[in-house]
Amino acid sequence: MKILFISASPINNSVSVGNTFLNVFNGLKDIEFYSIYSKSGFPDTKISKAFRITEKNIVKKFINWRLSVGELVNDRYDGQFASDSSALKLAKSKRWSIFFFLRNLIWNLPFWKSKNLKKFLDEVQPDVIFTVLSNSAPLNKLIKFVVNYTKKPLILYAWDDNYSFSNSKSPFKKLLQLNSRKHMRNTVKLADKFYVISKIQQQDYEKWFTKPCKILTKSADFSSEPPIKKEYGKPLQIVYTGNVLLNRWRSLEIIASALQKINVNGVKAQLRIYTGNTLTEEMNLALNKGESSIVMGSVPASEVYKIQQDADMLVHVEGLDEKSAQLVRHSFSTKLVDYFKMARPILAVGPRGVASIEHLIENDCVIYADNECKLVKKLSNLIQNYYLLDELSLKAYNCGKLNHDDSIMKNLLKNDLEVLKN
């Protein structure tokens, strides 16, 4: 069976969409993967054939009509961290509406519907198209074109709430959101199967789109005994790997400040933060607090597993402010399944009502706090009673076994693919 992924980012394990797509299909037999994407970077070695269309290609075609749009990508992702360009870093950090407006404007040009793209689709002849439901108007236009051109079934997968209106007072941003929502509704209408990542999202999306949704998450093999650590560090090594944007850095600051208080008479626990994000001066001051908290910078995706495995405790954070909480309300971090599989204690700071936080609390497998005072008390108790780390580790593993086991998730996807193919 041939599966065609459509995404903005390349499909590889260094980015969320790639990590998720590859994981949900991992272990399924007799499947070939193909990819169409629109950003820089390279696809995973598991991708048999990849095609890339970028805004740069489209603009060049506008300037010089002799040029072709879209290209086959022969290189593959080598596991190294790919640094964004200065312009892309600015766009990600500021998220100004003008960036999204310009991108939409570029994709209004017809050049991306090129002979090269049609040739790629003719050669691949996919059996099923698999893509993410996002608020990107260009991506949704690309999905619609590919589905209509190939006449093949579409599977949608959503893991963020990017359909709700934000609290922004900007009329310009409201117009962009209205446009995005229209394209999202059009994409949902094309879908033959619709997956979501959490109970909260399932409830909202079935109401908003009037289409049945199934919960599908990243999964792992939980059939063996939980690999609980035999010995924990003194000082306790607490590790965060990932994005610090959407005010996650402020939640990390709560952990860093709590550790400063705990460590006033000697270092008992240390936070290490690994992130590829470019930090502002304010972020650096908030997160670098001597021996209590240190920003380690970026590391290749291939090294993240070992860093997490060596940790005594793993961190999950979401921004506590209302705007950030709304943006991640439906989300379930793919990293959490890795945490469960590793059988490591989990420390979480974030708002209630967010799917990932609620999942951890419901399964009683987390040290949770939403302010510094609570966290100081809970971590101090943990440091004085190391046996609690084993209890938390076992609960984390059991949460994974109950909710994210390979056998359950893979059978769900496998059965749906067979129905669509036939």
Q: What sign does the CA torsion over 107, 111, 117, 122 have?
A: positive
- Residue 225 pLDDT greater than 60, yes or no: yes
Nearest 5°: CA angle at 393, between 391 and 396? 110
In whole angstroms, give the CA distance from residue 328 to residue 417: 29
Q: Among all chains, which residue has been given the structure tokens 């967010």?
A: 354
In whole angstroms, give the CA distance from residue 80 to residue 12: 11
Per residue in 3-40, pLDDT (tens digit) is 999 999 999 988 878 888 988 898 898 999 999 999 98
Q: What is the mean pLDDT of residues 45-58?
A: 92
Helix, strand counts (H, E) of the chain = 17, 14
From 223, 222, 218, 187, select the one nearest 205 (Cα to Cα).
187
Q: Among all chains, which residue has been given the structure tokens 């000082």?
A: 235
For residue 244, the model assigns a pLDDT of: 96
- Residue 240 pLDDT greater than 90, yes or no: yes
Per residue in 289-344, pLDDT (tens digit) is 999 999 999 998 789 999 999 999 999 999 999 989 988 999 888 889 999 999 99
- Residue 84 pLDDT greater than 50, yes or no: no
Structure tokens at 271: 């936070």
In whole angstroms, give the CA distance from residue 259 to residue 349: 14
Segments of 143-292 assigned E as strands: 154-157, 193-196, 214-215, 236-241, 269-274
Can you spell out the DSSP letters for 361-391? HHTT--EEESSHHHHHHHHHHHHH-THHHHH
- Residue 233 pLDDT greater than 90, yes or no: yes
Q: 285 by DSSP, 3-state: which?
A: helix
Mean of per-residue pLDDT scores for the chain: 91
Per residue in 385-414, pLDDT (tens digit) is 999 999 999 999 999 999 999 988 999 999
Structure tokens at 299: 């590391």
From 10, 104, 89, 17, select the one nearest 53 (Cα to Cα).
10
